[in-house]
Structure 1
Amino acid sequence: MKLIRNFMVAASLAVVMLPADAAPSAATQREINGLMQALENSGCRFQRNGSWYDAVAARGHLQRKYDYLLKRDLVDSSEQFIERAASRSSMSGKAYKVSCNGVPEQDASAWFLQQLRRLRAPAG
């Protein structure tokens, strides 16, 4: 019985000591806003669940998903935003696609990661 009690105490302490996801830093929030702004300004089309949407509608959809994740402390990096909100449908699991003039259609995750690299590139 003592062994079980010690195990339960140790397990409880381990849970308490797990780091909680923090809210995104100001820099991360700027990056995520920059990613959504890049989409909105891109003139690209965005496919989700088999239907195409213009960039403004796509941004609105992703903003709602981001807000949902923020309320639940489920995103604390730009990469998590891309993975959890901007890559695939939460309902169907289908990958989102982005189609821009003169560029082959691609998975939205690849498009957003490319945009993130651009945002992080040194100016000049």
Structure 2
Amino acid sequence: MPTISRLLAAGLLASASTCSFAGPTPAPVRAEIDALLGRIAASNCQFERNRSWHNAADARAHLLRKLTYIEKRTETITRTEQFIEHAASKSSFTGRPYRVRCGNGEPVESRAWLMRELQTLRSAKP
């Protein structure tokens, strides 16, 4: 019987292999992704993946692991939006969308939450 980590790796590989990039993430893109991950960690929001809620620090760590896996195995992330689409929007294992819940608010899909945060980051740049 396959282990969960093997199934996760297979799912990540399958989802990442649909892209045709190769090489490391360019430094400006990686800096933007790191800033976005920092916003996640500082958010005090909860993140749902596969019907289980996690704190912001755990969500950041999980997404960083997914990014590292993608970078090492199959593709270059050439835009932060690719990171959101390929690593931060849904489970590579189940395909279920990730969701974010801040305070008493209703959960929203992580893609929408992250795109808003990215827009905020970009509008703050001089």
- TM-score w.r.t. the length of structure 2 is 0.77
User: Which structure is higher in strand share?
Assistant: 1
Give unpaired runs (5+ residues) of structure 2: 1-19
| TM-score between the two structures when normalised by the length of structure 1 | 0.79
Q: Which has the higher contact order (CA 8 A, sep 6+)?
A: 2
1:24 CA drift (Å) = 2.3
1:39 CA drift (Å) = 0.4
Q: Distance in 2 between matches of 1:29 and 1:74?
A: 10
Asked whether 1:107 is paired with 2:109, we answer: yes
Relative distance call for 1:20 and 1:55 in structure 2 (3 A) is closer
Q: Classify the secondary structure of the residue corresponding to 1:120.
A: helix
SS at 1:31 equivalent = helix
Asked whether 1:117 is paired with 2:122, we answer no
Q: Give the Å deviation of 1:57.
A: 0.6
Provide the C-alpha distance between the structure 2 equivalents of 1:57 and 1:113, rounded to a whole number of angstroms: 20
Partners of 1:42 and 1:35 in 2: CA distance: 10
Which 4+ residue blocks in structure 1 deviate beyond 2 angstroms? 19-24
For 1:49 and 1:99, locate their aligned partners in 2 and report how far apart those are by CA, in whole Å: 14
Instruction: Please give the alpha-carbon distance, in whole angstroms, between the structure 2 residues aligned to 1:33 and 1:67.
Output: 12
Q: Distance in 2 between matches of 1:93 and 1:46?
A: 15
State the aligned residue count: 106
Distance 1:121 1:66 in 2: 24
Q: Match for 1:25: what amino acid?
A: P
Aligned residues: CA RMSD: 1.7
Aligned residue in 1 for 2:98: 96
Aligned match of 1:23: 24
Partner SS state of residue 47, structure 1: strand
Instruction: Please give the residue correspondences for 1:76-87 in structure 2 after superposition, counting only pairs within 5 Å.
Output: 76-87=78-89
Partner of 1:16: none
Return the alpha-carbon distance in structure 2 between the equivalents of residues 21 and 76 of structure 1: 10
